[in-house]
Amino acid sequence: MFVAGFPADTFGTNCYVVAPAPGEQCVVVDPGIGVVDQLDDLLAEHRLQPVAVLLTHGHLDHTFSVAPVCGARGITAYVHPGDREMLANPSKGFSVDITQMLGGRLEYSEPEDVAELTDGATMSLAGLEITVDHAPGHTGGSVLFRLPAAGSPWDADQICLTGDVLFAGSIGRTDLPGGSMPTMLSSLREKILPLADDTVVLPGHGPDTTIGRERASNPYLRQAGMPDDVRPAAARPNW
């Protein structure tokens, strides 16, 4: 398996490329702001042909380049229906202050071909078997993408691309439109905590980690695993 990622210059959003091997078809995950040239270089270097773009959620820092990436190749963008409207109107996912900060400085366009992701579905794309887990809390349509790690650089059974659900040491913020801390804690408890400790986590921001490492040290996973009546308040999430 081939897995490569790099952070966008804006917001440090991780864009990933996953393929069975170099020289094969691939999927692109979360092409954010200003990543097109670097993505094109990575694809050319490893002779990869994208067949789809997968979006962990609808925030602009994860979706900004989806239209040019898809349009240049005539491929489909996949997003959960809970975040579908953000592809047409990104401001629906931002607070007023962030919308004002961005203003009209970014010219955004919606991809022509959009398909909706289904919770629990396993998609066969580019020779990969990718399972979708709906994990709301950061946004209403946040998802995880899980796939077998056989042949990857990691000694693990599974890889999980977590978007802004789970980071190394933290989680995605829950104070933006569509966000909810109680819903996030439910997603962590029901979708993250059951994963095996050796599961490799490829997050939307920051370095990779493992479920075992986060289970032992991430305060939000500890909080999610406690009964409601004894949960302490945790620090503010990131991003």
Predicted confidence at residue 223, as pLDDT, reads 93
Q: Give me the chain's average pLDDT, please.
A: 91
Task: Please provide the size of the chain in residues.
Answer: 239
Predicted confidence at residue 104, as pLDDT, reads 53
Contact 168, 216 (CB under 8 A): no
| 55 pLDDT above the threshold of 60 | yes
| 202 pLDDT above the threshold of 90 | yes
Who's near 172: CB < 8 A, 6+ residues apart? 137, 138, 142, 163, 164, 165, 166, 179, 184, 204, 237, 238, 239
pTM of structure: 0.92
How do residues 116-146 score in pLDDT, each as one tens digit?
A: 999 999 999 999 999 999 999 999 999 999 9
Question: Can you list the positions of beta strands (E) in 72-199?
Answer: 76-79, 114-116, 122-125, 128-134, 143-148, 158-163, 166-167, 170-171
- Stretch 174-180: mean pLDDT, rounded? 93
Q: How confident is the model at residue 76 (pLDDT cuts 50, 70, 90)?
A: very high
How do residues 95-122 score in pLDDT, each as one tens digit?
A: 545 544 554 555 677 888 999 999 999 9
Predicted confidence at residue 89, as pLDDT, reads 84
Residue 74, exposed/middle/buried by CB under 10 A (0-12, 13-18, 19+)?
exposed
Paired tokens of 174: 């829950």
Predicted confidence at residue 95, as pLDDT, reads 54
Percent of the chain with pLDDT over 90: 80
| 43 pLDDT above the threshold of 90 | yes
**Nearest-10 Cα torsion for 139, 131, 204, 117:** -40
Predicted confidence at residue 143, as pLDDT, reads 98
Contact 71, 112 (CB under 8 A): yes
Predicted confidence at residue 10, as pLDDT, reads 87
Locate all alpha helices (DSSP H) within 34-115, ordered by sequence: 36-45, 60-63, 66-71, 84-88, 96-102
Residue 185 to residue 174: CA distance in whole angstroms:
10
Paired tokens of 196: 């095996």
Number of neighbours of residue 189 by Cβ within 10 angstroms: 15
Question: 48-57, 63-72, 106-115, 153-162 — which is least confidently predicted?
Answer: 106-115
Percent of the chain with pLDDT over 70: 88
Residue 11 to residue 61: CA distance in whole angstroms:
7
